[in-house]
Amino acid sequence: MSTILFDFETAKDKALMTVARLFQKADAQVVSTDIAQVLSKRAGVAFRSVAFTFADGQTVLLNVKTTGDVFEVTVNGGVVPLRHQDDHGEGIAEIAGWLGPKRAAFQRALAKVDCPVPASVRVSVSTG
């Protein structure tokens, strides 16, 4: 497989579409993508974050250096190590593989989140 390098200077990045297609091929339905507009800097490395949101609500965040290569992968907020760093197709399949076992735990965590009812919402049933 050819190397996937991100290019943030062009309006339509081919690497972004290629990664989304490879996720689709690995049975992970990409719903939306988001590229950070500002550069972040950590330990002297400037990077942009590319976020992929999947149909079940899970997220994958790729931190991409200004040279175009990915240096960090985050799945649902946790950094994951990759075995296949040089083969990008295998690496994306590995990331998609991380999504499967984490799906049940992710759904349980979403179910536990307490969403308070806004004060503007009124109910006609008395609670007393």
Q: What is the pTM of this model?
A: 0.75
* Residue bearing the bigger pLDDT, 59 or 87: 59
Long-range contact list for 54-63, CB < 8 A, 24+ apart?
54/23, 54/28, 54/29, 54/30, 54/99, 55/29, 55/31, 56/99, 56/103, 56/106, 56/107, 57/106, 57/107, 57/110, 58/99, 58/102, 58/103, 58/106, 60/95, 60/99, 62/19
- 36 and 64 Cβ atoms separated by less than 8 Å: no
Rounded Cα–Cα distance for residues 83 and 66 (Å): 23
Rounded Cα–Cα distance for residues 70 and 16 (Å): 12
DSSP result, 39-50 = -EEETTEEEEEE
Residue 6 has pLDDT above 70, yes or no: yes
* Residue bearing the bigger pLDDT, 13 or 38: 38
Note the pLDDT tens digit of each residue in 99-115. 877 777 777 777 788 88
Note the pLDDT tens digit of each residue in 61-84. 988 888 887 888 898 888 888 887
Residue 59 has pLDDT above 70, yes or no: yes
Structure tokens at 90: 């295998």
Percent of the chain with pLDDT strictly greater than 70: 93
Query: Which parts of the chain fold into alpha helices (H)?
Result: 14-25, 88-112
Residue 27 is predicted with a pLDDT of 84
Most confident of 69-73, 86-90, 123-127: 69-73
